[in-house]
Structure 1
Amino acid sequence: MDIVRQSDAETYEPDEGWERRALAGSNEFSFEWFTKPPGHSSPMHDHENEQVCLVLEGELTLHSEDGSSETLERYDSAHVESWETHAVENTGDEMAVGLDVFAPGRSFDFWTDRDDE
């Protein structure tokens, strides 16, 4: 059994207020708890991992490469296929909190070793 306490989790802050914490997981899947301030958006990106995004507080809008968008509210979730280009934006007025699940699992290297396009 692998226990990861929130207070001890590996953390990464890609931008001010956008915090990610690596929770218990494996090479098969990983969990990342995150906060995203109002108005913040990740860049458009894709990855080999399938992703499920669950909104715990606030709202998040997922944008697709084709220009479509869907807004998720508290306890809504979305599945993002492998290599599906997307961005996640906090379009609400309060801090958003969410949980991302990735399969296969990944580390923060996805963001830290990434070349911005």
Structure 2
Amino acid sequence: MKPVEFDDAETYEPDEGWRRVAMAGSDRFSFEWFEKPPGHSSPMHDHENEQVCLCLDGELTVRTEDEATTLERFDSVWLDAWESHAVENTADERAVGLDVFAPGRSFDFWTDREDE
């Protein structure tokens, strides 16, 4: 067993107000808790990992090239590997979510990105 205390977990902020926290995981899967300020959107992106995005509080809109869905508290969406997507907080309040990735991934995905 490898417990992870939230306050001691590795944390990073890819953009101002967009905080991500690495929770328990392995190279086969990883969990990242995140918060987004109102109006914040990740850029459209894709990755080798399948992803489940679970909305814990607030409202998140997940867009792909073909469609969009708005998640409210405890709603989730599954994204296939290499499926281009963006996650946006479309509400006036902070949104909180949990991303699950398989296989697991490190923070390098966002910290080492080059802005276009």
* Shorter-chain TM-score above 0.5: yes
**1:55 alignment counterpart:** 55
Q: Kindly report structure 1 stretches of 4+ aligned residues shifted beyond 2 Å.
A: none
Matched length: 116
What is the identity, as a one-letter code, of the residue corresponding to 1:102? F
Distance (Å, rounded) in 2 between the aligned partners of 1:8 and 1:96: 21
SS class of match (2:55):
strand
**Partner in structure 1 of residue 88 of structure 2:** 89
> Counterparts of 1:109 and 1:14 in 2: how far apart (Å)?
10
Deviation per residue, 1:34-72 (Å, 9 max, x gap): 000110000000000000000000000011123x21101
Aligned to 2:19: 19
| 2:37 is the alignment partner of 1:29 | no
Shift of 1:16: 1.1
Describe how 1:38-49 pairs up with structure 2 within 5 A: 38-49=38-49
Deviation per CA, 1:12-47: give whole Å up to 9, x if none.
101111000000100000000000011000000000
C-alpha separation between the residues in 2 aligned to 1:18 and 1:29? 22
- Distance of 1:32 and 1:91 partners within structure 2: 20
Q: Which residue in 1 is equivalent to 2:69? A: 70
CA distance in 2 between partners of 1:75 and 1:21 (Å): 19
* SS of corresponding position for 2:43: coil
* Aligned mates of 1:15, 1:113 — CA distance in 2: 13
- Alpha-carbon offset, residue 110 of structure 1: 0.5
CA-atom RMSD, angstroms? Answer: 0.8
- Residue aligned with 1:110, SS: helix
2: distance between equivalents of 1:86 and 1:22?
21
In structure 1, what residue type is equivalent to 2:55? V
Q: Tell me by how many angstroms 1:115 deviates.
A: 2.6
Structure 1 unaligned spans of 5+: none
Q: Give the TM-score normalised by the residue count of structure 2.
A: 0.97
**Unaligned stretches of 5+ residues in structure 2:** none
